[in-house]
């Protein structure tokens, strides 16, 4: 089976995928990363966009987290290696695209002829022409228990809202965001003192297990899916100032350094 992965070169995708890449190295035909922060915006345009849509403290933390990840992986200390090392070791190509729905990228994917596409933290809505390429469809791993917390940065909103349970939903991608049929859901407990970083880490560790479970079922032709419930859905966008006020009201923290360091 030919596997194509759409992902993002950050620590949480690395946590979710590192073992899967090793275990399925003979079947992985490529990993596609975004060559952008925000689709169709330059680096500085993306920074302006995020500061306008979100809030400074969240942006600063994500920048700091990224720097720690790059330092640790470049020095080859900790649990994670750079994706480029996985690529060389397991002999699969890495591609970058400015637009997953562009004619150039669609033609690339058609040449690769994947049987399945897995999306893990890919930061762009995927259009129908891409969805038609793999015969077994496109499966996304969303860091909430859908239909709740559709949209962006569910790990922030789940933390801000002081939820006691979190989870991950594996679902087929369709043209509407996070509304496709559900293949698998798994839950985890959120402790009172869990930081936002710890919530995202728990989601990533769940994806690590779920992607292998789904891939094994797919090989045996045992994949089943169900429609999402009509009611009870919610949608959240970028973490904003109102969300940060709720975050602080519920006495939440972005991270603890030791936990962040040990997550990598």
- Cβ-based burial of 135 (10 A; exposed 0-12, middle 13-18, buried ≥19): exposed
User: In terms of CATH architecture, what is 3-263?
Assistant: 3-Layer(aba) Sandwich (3.40)
pTM: predicted TM-score of the whole model, two decimal places: 0.96
* Residues of the chain below pLDDT 70: none
Report the pLDDT value the prediction gives residue 229, as an integer from 0 to 100. Answer: 87
Spans of all domains in the chain: 3-263
Dist. CA 47–CA 37, nearest whole Å = 8
Report the pLDDT value the prediction gives residue 231, as an integer from 0 to 100. Answer: 83
The per-residue DSSP string of the chain comes to --EEEE--SSHHHHHHHHHHHHHTTTTEEEEEEES-SSTT--HHHHHHHHHHHS-HHHHHHHHHHHHHHHHHHHTT-SS---HHHHHHHHT--EEEES-TTSHHHHHHHHHH--SEEEEES--SPPPHHHHTSSTT-EEEEESS-TTTTEES-HHHHHHHTT-SEEEEEEEE--SSTT-SPEEEEEEEEPPTT--HHHHHHHHHHHHHHHHHHHHHHHHTT----BPPPSSS--EE-S--HHHHHHHHHTT--S--HHHHHHH-
Whether omega before 256 lies within 30 degrees of 0, making that bond cis, reads no
Dist. CA 178–CA 147, nearest whole Å = 8
């Amino acid at each position: 089976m030919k596997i194509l992965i759409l992902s993002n070169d950050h620590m949480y995708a690395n946590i979710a995928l590192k073992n899967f890449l090793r275990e399925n190295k003979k079947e992985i035909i490529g990993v596609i990363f975004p060559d952008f922060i925000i689709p169709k915006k330059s680096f500085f345009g993306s920074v302006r966009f995020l500061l306008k849509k979100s809030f400074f403290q969240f942006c600063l933390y994500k920048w700091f987290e990224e720097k720690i990840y790059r330092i640790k992986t470049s020095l080859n200390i900790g649990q994670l290696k750079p994706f480029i090392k996985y690529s060389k070791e397991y002999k699969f190509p890495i591609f970058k695209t400015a637009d997953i729905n562009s004619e150039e990228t669609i033609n690339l994917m058609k040449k690769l002829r994947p049987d399945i596409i897995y999306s893990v933290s890919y930061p762009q809505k995927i259009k129908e022409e891409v969805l038609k390429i793999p015969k077994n469809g496109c499966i996304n791993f969303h860091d909430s228990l859908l239909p709740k917390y559709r949209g962006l940065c569910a790990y922030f909103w789940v933390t801000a809202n002081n939820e006691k349970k979190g989870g991950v939903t594996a679902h087929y991608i369709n043209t509407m965001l996070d509304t496709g049929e559900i293949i698998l859901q798994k839950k985890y407990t959120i402790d009172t003192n869990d930081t936002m970083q710890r919530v995202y880490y728990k989601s990533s560790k769940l994806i690590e297990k779920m992607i292998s479970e789904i891939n094994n079922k797919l090989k045996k032709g045992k994949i089943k899916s169900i429609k999402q419930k009509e009611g009870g859905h919610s949608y959240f966008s970028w973490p904003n100032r109102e969300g940060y006020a709720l975050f602080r009201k519920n006495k939440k923290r972005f991270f603890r350094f030791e936990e962040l360091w040990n997550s990598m």
